[in-house]
């Protein structure tokens, strides 16, 4: 588990939080072969716990979501997904640190969510412990985004942590809290943004209705917009810290977070340009208020 500072509140976790077990001292001790009823952790076996229990239906846990989205190759209009349930998507963000002994467990959980459900998801890596500064997977903007969530939720930054629908931070290795938070956040899903291509290479738009954000002149009168680009699956070998030598698979690893112009609530098309990097697999479009949270989420999936 990693903690950090840098303008982030360092208050203690809530008293009802499941106690965090003492971490093993070696990589070889992380996993065991005999499952028990222990609840902390996520992964093959950790402290005798397996994720998920038995044949858990993870999609049933997440719940039905609308599935309309944009698919295509660079510069080519793809087919639209079919329209699913009325409620919006579930956005899941994983924040990890290569120097944290618990982070591979978060990757196991996140990979399951991406493979077995229709959540919109991305994985952000930062150097919170200052133990893996040379790791090529680290994205500086991830640390900033993680720090904002910690400040907003009055929590310490830890790894691995999940942010769900822009509202909560939950430690990814605490099974009970992950399940409870997912169930709670199902009722707080954001709007699904239907991203379409203009017909020109790398140019996209979202059609938006008029919306008012309040009378303040700082954040409430606008939404901050950003595009989170994520990569193809990566098999990554950790080179520093307690997990040095361990190989992990990372799905939807963030390669960069691109700030886009603010939206002030006017009706019409919001246009933006995205030129994918060579290893990009997709991108997540976020419309957010710094005061009230996540408004809308859309996803572009590349087929190359």
pLDDT tens figures, 124-139: 987 665 655 666 677 7
Q: CA neighbours within 13 Å on the CB side: how many for 281?
A: 13
Position 198 in a domain: yes
Tens of pLDDT, residues 86-107: 468 999 999 988 778 888 888 8
Tens of pLDDT, residues 33-70: 333 333 444 444 544 445 555 567 888 888 766 544 45
Q: How many residues does the chain have?
A: 304
Q: How far apart are CA 78 and CA 71, in angstroms?
A: 5
Work out how many domains the chain is built from and give that number.
1
pLDDT of residue 90: 92
Q: Residue 266 sits in which domain range?
A: 89-302
Which of 42-46, 111-115, 222-226 has maximum average pLDDT? 222-226
Q: How far apart are CA 232 and CA 234, in angstroms?
A: 6
Q: Give the pair of three-digit tokens for residue 193.
A: 């943004």
Q: What is the pTM of this model?
A: 0.76
Q: Pseudo-torsion of CA 191, 193, 194, 196, nearest 10°? A: 170
Position 23 in a domain: no
φ, ψ for residue 272, nearest 5 deg = -155, 160
Dihedral sign, Cα of residue 133, residue 121, residue 229, residue 296: negative
Position 257 in a domain: yes
End-to-end CA distance of the chain: 37
Position 27 in a domain: no
Position 29 in a domain: no
Q: Give the pair of three-digit tokens for residue 230.
A: 């994520």
Q: How far apart are CA 247 and CA 249, in angstroms?
A: 7
Q: How far apart are CA 146 and CA 161, in angstroms?
A: 9
Position 291 in a domain: yes
Return the percentage of the chain with pLDDT > 70, whole number.
Answer: 67
202-231: average pLDDT: 84
How big is the CA angle at 40 (ends 166 and 52), to the nearest 5 degrees?
Answer: 80
Q: Is the pLDDT of residue 206 over 70?
A: yes
């Amino acid at each position: 588990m990693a903690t950090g500072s840098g303008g982030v509140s360092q208050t203690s976790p809530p008293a009802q939080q499941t106690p965090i077990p003492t971490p093993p001292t070696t990589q070889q001790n992380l996993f065991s072969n005999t499952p028990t009823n222990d609840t902390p952790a996520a992964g093959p076996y950790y402290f005798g716990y397996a994720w998920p229990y038995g044949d858990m239906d993870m999609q049933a846990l997440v719940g039905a979501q609308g599935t309309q989205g944009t698919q295509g190759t660079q510069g080519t209009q793809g087919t639209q997904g079919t329209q699913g349930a009325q409620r919006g998507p579930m956005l899941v963000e994983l924040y990890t640190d290569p120097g944290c002994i618990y982070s591979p467990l978060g990757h196991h959980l996140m990979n399951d969510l991406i493979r077995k459900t229709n959540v919109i998801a991305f994985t952000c890596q930062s150097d919170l412990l200052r133990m893996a500064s040379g790791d090529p997977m680290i994205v500086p903007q991830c640390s900033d985004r993680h720090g904002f969530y910690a400040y907003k939720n009055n929590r310490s930054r830890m790894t691995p942590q999940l942010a769900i629908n822009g509202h909560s931070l939950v430690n990814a290795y605490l099974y009970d809290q992950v399940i409870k938070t997912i169930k709670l956040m199902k009722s707080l899903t954001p709007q699904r943004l239907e991203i379409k291509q203009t017909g020109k290479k790398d140019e996209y738009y979202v059609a938006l209705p008029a919306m008012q954000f309040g009378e303040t002149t700082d954040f409430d009168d606008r939404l901050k917009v950003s595009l989170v680009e994520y990569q193809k699956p990566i098999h990554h070998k950790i080179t520093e810290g307690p997990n040095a030598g361990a190989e992990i698979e990372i799905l939807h690893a963030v390669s960069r977070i691109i700030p886009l112009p603010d939206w002030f609530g006017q009706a019409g098309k919001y246009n933006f340009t995205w030129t994918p990097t060579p290893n990009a697999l997709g991108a997540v479009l976020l419309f957010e208020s710094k005061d009230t949270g996540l408004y809308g989420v859309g996803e572009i999936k590349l087929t190359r």
